[in-house]
Structure 1
Amino acid sequence: MTDSFRADIAAVHDIPGIREMLEQVCTLTGMGFAAVARVTGERWVACQVLDKIEFGLHPGDELEIKTTICDEIRASGKGVFIDHVGSDPHWRTHPVPALYGFESYVSLPIVLEDGSFFGTLCAIDPAQRTRSLAEVVGQLQEFARTIGQALDGLRRVPA
């Protein structure tokens, strides 16, 4: 792992209240896994993780970038909200949910002050949502903004 990814993992770890934010993401969405990931065109690296479903990822772990929806979010700059993979015409045939075994998913871009894409705030669960994720979009977007602002603040602090 390169030093820049180690620094990103450390920076996310140092965000005040990051664990509580991930806990809130799980509570709001009803999902059992939430993470902040550093996403580039070549890599997906977990920076902070809350795993209540034994998905098995830890900070520093990587997924093959082309096997993630986060790669699509990096390319589009738009969040993805899936209440139930099996009932969604686009997602039920998409290879990523089948690969990781999830039925519900949410991911939002984390954008830095200069407009650059840092990564994603994401959550997954093997069960479908009974409550629409549309109800919590604003709160989740605020968490993603807060994380981006905190990363900017940490980058401005001299080492």
Structure 2
Amino acid sequence: MTHNSSSEVVIRRLYQITNKYSDGFEAQVIELLNMGLERLNLDIGILSRIKGDTYTVIQCVTPDEVEMAPGDQFEYKNTYCEITCREKSVIAVEHFAINDHYATHPAYSAFGLESYIGVPIFIEGELYGTLNFSSVKPYPRKFHEFDLDVIQLMASWIEVEIIRRKQEAKLTALNAKLKKQALSDPLTGIANRRGMFKHLKKDINRLSRHSSSGYLMILDIDFFKNINDKHGHQVGDKILISIAKKLKQSIRDYDFIARFGGEEFLLWLPDTKEGQEQSVYQRIMTNIQSIDLLDSTITASIGACYFELMHHDNMAFAHKVDELIAKADQALYQAKRNGRNRIEYYHPDFL
């Protein structure tokens, strides 16, 4: 095979491996290591990570008699990669024992490897690690310039792929953060109306798969406008934040709360029979009244609507939620009419 045709085969193989994104990064690296070992006729292929004084094996391909696995660690100064990283370029040594420059390196006495070719990997200007191939046997010929080019190409792809994966991870995290922000109230950190509707839709679908019951409640802070007028909006905001925290402390693990708007909060108590909501209500009222507001006590009024969902209830989600909210709102109005600082339950006779 001519040099040109050999080069074409190598480049084609590199292209095939580096475009197998569906295989995953680890599988691609192992294929690159195997390709390098075949191309160079060496025994050990390693992708390493270097942090401080520690050399960590990220991926490796070795003969059965060599005990090495991903996660193995060595002292960085006792590896040939220390030479590679110090030189900041491809290093190729055919026979360490007769190389006056490298034979005294501690890696030679530590590992006894006779031939080695390695290249440093830099990510955004910072040393990441190395890609290297080696053997306990001297290399039978001088490494060709193309050998150095091939390992450099492999390392370049690894550099680009690691950067791409880091950027992809950042983008995924950013998207998750933006999605959470879109569903959360920026002041209290609990769900906003959009997050509320998303949760209720999912939970109503779950509950309608089997007969179930529960409560939807709307809580309104009593005389909140007076608090804002007297103490200022900063204090008002602190009260809203405290209310959200107290509500989270009061509900059960499977309950749900959201900021419904202004000083109103929605509480969703699924899988709850009539009467079982009382313990939650008592905790809510006690916890809210424990909020310190200098010259007065914080209280709240609650309107509650009990619901039953029959098996495969076909009522449209939006209609079901609107109906429950409207009923809870009527009950809340009744609680305010009856003196506030109390809970009222929806009744069809409410005007």
| Structure-2-length-normalised TM-score | 0.39
User: 1: distance between equivalents of 2:139 and 2:133?
Assistant: 12
User: 1: distance between equivalents of 2:82 and 2:114?
Assistant: 19
Q: 1:128 aligns with which of 138, 160, 164?
A: 138
User: 1: distance between equivalents of 2:143 and 2:106?
Assistant: 21
The aligned amino acid for 1:62 is Q
Q: Alignment partner of 1:91: what SS? A: coil
Q: Pick 1 or 2: higher relative contact order, CA cutoff 8 A, min separation 6.
A: 1
User: 1: distance between equivalents of 2:64 and 2:135?
Assistant: 7
The aligned amino acid for 1:89 is D
Aligned residue in 1 for 2:321: none
Q: CA deviation at 1:20?
A: 1.1
Deviation string, structure 1 residues 32-73 (Cα, Å, up to 9, x no partner): 100100012321000000012633111001011121121233
**Matched residue pairs, number?**
146
Q: Alignment partner of 1:27: what SS? A: helix
State whether residues 121 and 130 of structure 2, in contact with CA within 8 Å, keep that contact through their aligned partners in structure 1. Answer: yes
Q: CA deviation at 1:15?
A: 4.6
The aligned amino acid for 2:118 is S
The aligned amino acid for 2:82 is D
Q: Alignment partner of 1:133: what SS? A: coil
User: 2: distance between equivalents of 1:27 and 1:131?
Assistant: 15
Unpaired runs of 5+ in structure 1?
1-12
The aligned amino acid for 2:87 is S
Unpaired runs of 5+ in structure 2?
1-23, 173-351
Q: CA deviation at 1:125?
A: 0.4
User: 2: distance between equivalents of 1:79 and 1:120?
Assistant: 10
Q: Alignment partner of 1:24: what SS? A: helix
Q: 1:55 aligns with which of 48, 57, 66?
A: 66
Following superposition of structure 1 onto structure 2, how do residues 107-122 of structure 1 map, counting pairs within 5 Å?
A: 107-112=118-123, 114-122=124-132
Q: Does 1:38 align with 2:49?
A: yes
User: 2: distance between equivalents of 1:60 and 1:92?
Assistant: 27
Q: CA deviation at 1:74?
A: 2.7
When the two chains are superposed, the root-mean-square deviation of aligned CA atoms in Å is 1.8
Deviation string, structure 1 residues 55-100 (Cα, Å, up to 9, x no partner): 3111001011121121233333222211111221212233311210
State whether residues 108 and 144 of structure 1, in contact with CA within 8 Å, keep that contact through their aligned partners in structure 2. Answer: yes
State whether residues 45 and 134 of structure 2, in contact with CA within 8 Å, keep that contact through their aligned partners in structure 1. Answer: yes
State the identity as a percent: 23
Aligned residue in 2 for 1:88: 99
| Bigger share in helix | 2
Larger CA Rg, structure 1 vs 2: 2
User: 2: distance between equivalents of 1:93 and 1:101?
Assistant: 11
Following superposition of structure 1 onto structure 2, how do residues 4-19 of structure 1 map, counting pairs within 5 Å?
A: 14-15=25-26, 17-19=28-30
User: 2: distance between equivalents of 1:123 and 1:137?
Assistant: 11
State whether residues 39 and 74 of structure 1, in contact with CA within 8 Å, keep that contact through their aligned partners in structure 2. Answer: no
Deviation string, structure 1 residues 9-39 (Cα, Å, up to 9, x no partner): xxxx735621110011111221110010001
State whether residues 45 and 61 of structure 2, in contact with CA within 8 Å, keep that contact through their aligned partners in structure 1. Answer: yes
State whether residues 32 and 53 of structure 1, in contact with CA within 8 Å, keep that contact through their aligned partners in structure 2. Answer: no
Where has structure 1 moved over 3 Å in runs of 4 or more?
none
